[in-house]
Amino acid sequence: MTARARRRRAAPGSPGFLKRSQSRWAERAVGVLLVAAALVSVLTTIGIVVALIPPVVEFFGKVGFGRFITGTDWSPLFEPPRFGVLPLVTATLVVTVIALFVAVPLGLGAAVYLSEYAGHRVRGSLKPVLEVLAGIPTVVYGFFALRAITPFLQRNWPGGDPPEVFNALSAGFVMGIMIIPTIASLAEDAMAAVPRSLRDGACALGSSRMQVSTRVVFPAALSGIVAAVVLGVSRAIGETMIVAIAAGGRPNLTFNPLEGMQTMTAFIAAAGIGDLPTGSTGYQTIFAVGLLLFAITLVMNLISIRLVRRYREVYE
Amino acid sequence: MIPTAATSDPPEVTRLRGRGTPLRERFFRLGLRASLAVGVLFLVGLLTYVVVEGWPRLNSKLWTNFPDVIDPSNAGAQSAITGTVWVVSCTALYCLPTGVLTAIYLEEYADRDRWWNRAIEINIQNLAAVPSIVYGILGLGVISRGLGFGQTVLTASLTLSLLVLPIVIISSREAIRAVPQSVRQASLSLGATQWQTVRRQVLPAAVPGMATGSILALSRAIGEAAPLLLLGGLTFITFNPTGVQSQFTVLPIQIFNWISQSRAEFTALASAAIVVLLVILLVMNSLAIWLRNHFTHRW
């Protein structure tokens, strides 16, 4: 576009009527405005980094990075404060793994069905259902996990100790349901990008539809599917309301999903509710945990963006 | 839509096999159906649960009364509903123009070969997946305390508009990209300037797609609670906001507040408020789907 405009302006020996009769200052003003708008998103990223770094530097000056990252006791707002972040990390890990156990098979199953099996009409009626599932506020998911799923599990627990009122299991399960649409729609995009000739070739060799799906389409779309899963992981790590409501607020270094535990996001939310004074160590912990969360999800996102790009390049 | 191999699979293929569909195939298909069914059943269960639980409280008290900790049977969510309207309107005011202008820049003006334009693109993709609570930290550290805007409607809507900005940008870019190049070339060849071409040809054609994306972005903003927890949205508010400098609460936060109370009346109240919130979101979602189906332009 800009290149074309430049060429028009530079056309040698152009007749008089092609010359500008008025100055194009309005065009330039628009250009400046557009660049300014595009810079807002860059400023957002800079803003996030600027918001995180100074309090975190001050925090590590007081606490020490080693104590933060390897400590097993997290009670930053009590006396004496302890700043070992591991309980929050393991809780995040437990909830994420449970969510993925639900979301990966169900999301990929839904994607294969929608892309390889479903007819037009079925697709047309099922995709909006997935969209509604994706549009439900997470506070509602959390409410459902705490007030419906957990009591259900407690009533029907097959043996041993039933789950606590706050537990990682129902939070993780509901979070998994929440992530299904994310994984399903991205994986379906990847599978739809596999050229039809591959399917036709496999069919011509006598493959059944299941063989076409699992041995041809699935491997061909693998990088896109992995990207979908990675994005699902980053959604699970970053999700706040479900865990804040249903998984409880007690930092707890355990891998038992039936117990209550506090994730990184749930801690940030809980600490943010209390009106901590700017500059206090308690206030700075929000930023330290936030930076850790941001760093983890940033790495996940970059991997996912990379993988999506790769599968797009293959079949265009 | 191009039919995939699967959907146009001719019946003769199966007829050629001697026996019927093997058992494994049937189980596979059953498994695929089941994985979709779990999502659908979950949705049905959730909707039934909130409607049944909230039914006794789905009366006018819910939107005429203010929150009340002592007497839940008379508590309502008026301040939360007006707060939601305030916050979401301001969010739309800040993020829609910015998002659309960014999309125009990236699609119509930016030179793809320049590294900074590619960096902006990756940056936006990345922002789309940053956890919402991190935006809360941004709002708390920079907007609320750094710039000194405090715990106000202004801070909340600025934070939410940064949060949903990537959605607006990405969907607007797709809408602009769907306008064929020939339309632009025709306009330019008639002597229109680049901005005239964008304003009079490209934008009108792309508006339905942009509107769809914007509605989805705003419905995300309506349901979002996590960043607002950090911005003072949980404060007990028994008045309607009067301006952008006002303190506020919103529906999801009010719901969170009621969930945290253990008494059964509050569970009913939370369910009723959830029904209201879900109805608003369903209306917005259907509007978006309707817009997409009715105004999709085939060139």
pLDDT tier at B17 (50, 70, 90 boundaries)? low
Any CB–CB contact under 8 A between B252 and chain A? yes
Check CB contact under 8 Å for A269 and B226: yes
The kind and range of the H/E element at B242 are: none
pLDDT tier at A268 (50, 70, 90 boundaries)? very high
Tell me the backbone φ, ψ of residue A82, rounded to 5 degrees: -125, 135
Rounded-to-10 torsion of CA A296, A173, A261, B163? 40
Per residue in A39-90, pLDDT (tens digit) is: 999 999 999 998 899 999 999 988 888 888 888 888 887 778 888 899 999 9
Tell me the backbone φ, ψ of residue A259, rounded to 5 degrees: -95, 160
Check CB contact under 8 Å for A42 and B123: yes
Residue with tokens 């900005």: B165
- Nearest Cα of chain B lies from the Cα of A72 at a distance, in angstroms, of 24
Which of B38, B49, B134 lies nearest to residue A293, judging by beta carbons?
B134
- Residues of chain A with Cβ-Cβ distance to B111 below 8 Å are 2-3
Position B232 pLDDT exceeds 80: no
Give me the total of CB pairs closer than 8 Å, taking one residue from chain A and one from chain B: 288
Which of A4, A51, A107 lies nearest to residue B142, judging by beta carbons?
A51
Q: What is the pTM of this model?
A: 0.88
Position B24 pLDDT exceeds 90: no
Check CB contact under 8 Å for B124 and A41: yes
Which of B134, B194, B256 lies nearest to residue A27, judging by beta carbons?
B194
The kind and range of the H/E element at A74 are: strand A74-75
A82: which strand partners? A75
Position A7 pLDDT exceeds 80: no
Higher pLDDT, B36 or B235: B36
Rama region for A287: left / alpha / beta (φ>0; ψ in -120 to 50; rest): alpha
Can you give the pLDDT at residue B238?
75
Query: Cα dist. A285→A39, A176, A214, B44, B247 in Å?
Result: 30, 28, 47, 40, 26
Check CB contact under 8 Å for B120 and A38: yes
Q: Exposed/middle/buried for B116, CB within 10 Å: 0-12, 13-18, 19+?
A: exposed
- Contact predicate A150/A170, CB 8 Å: yes
The C-alpha atoms of residue B45 and residue B38 are separated, in whole angstroms, by: 10
Position A314 pLDDT exceeds 50: yes
For the ranges A92-106, A169-183, B21-35, B40-54, the lowest mean pLDDT is seen at: B21-35
Can you give the pLDDT at residue A10?
45
Check CB contact under 8 Å for A273 and B234: yes
Position B293 pLDDT exceeds 60: yes
Closest alpha carbon within chain B to A119 = B7
The C-alpha atoms of residue B175 and residue B163 are separated, in whole angstroms, by: 20
Which of B33, B194, B255 lies nearest to residue A143, judging by beta carbons?
B255
Can you give the pLDDT at residue A1?
46
Tell me the backbone φ, ψ of residue A74, rounded to 5 degrees: -120, 105
Query: What is the average pLDDT score of chain B?
Result: 87
* Count of residues in chain A: 316
Give percent above pLDDT 70 in chain A: 91
If DSSP states are collapsed to H, E and C, what string results for B126-173? HHHCCCHHHHHHHHHHHHHHHCCCCCCHHHHHHHHHHHHHHHHHHHHH
The C-alpha atoms of residue B269 and residue A143 are separated, in whole angstroms, by: 12
- Residues of chain A with Cβ-Cβ distance to B28 below 8 Å are 210, 213-214
The C-alpha atoms of residue B278 and residue B251 are separated, in whole angstroms, by: 11
Which of B40, B124, B131 lies nearest to residue A238, judging by beta carbons?
B131
What contacts 24+ positions apart, CB below 8 Å, involve A25-31? A26/B195, A27/B193, A27/B194, A27/B195, A30/B195, A31/B109
Give the mean model confidence (pLDDT) for residues A88-101: 96
Rama region for B232: left / alpha / beta (φ>0; ψ in -120 to 50; rest): left
Q: Which two tokens stand for residue B281?
A: 């979101």
Closest alpha carbon within chain B to A304 = B126
Which of B109, B133, B219 lies nearest to residue A265, judging by beta carbons?
B133
- Residues of chain A with Cβ-Cβ distance to B222 below 8 Å are 137
Per residue in B125-167, pLDDT (tens digit) is: 999 989 999 999 999 989 988 888 888 899 999 999 999 999 9
Closest alpha carbon within chain B to A28 = B195
Tell me the backbone φ, ψ of residue B77, rounded to 5 degrees: -125, 30
Closest alpha carbon within chain B to A181 = B39
pLDDT tier at A244 (50, 70, 90 boundaries)? very high
Distance between start and end Cα atoms, chain A: 23
Q: Which two tokens stand for residue B10?
A: 């001719």
Strand stretches in chain B, DSSP E: none
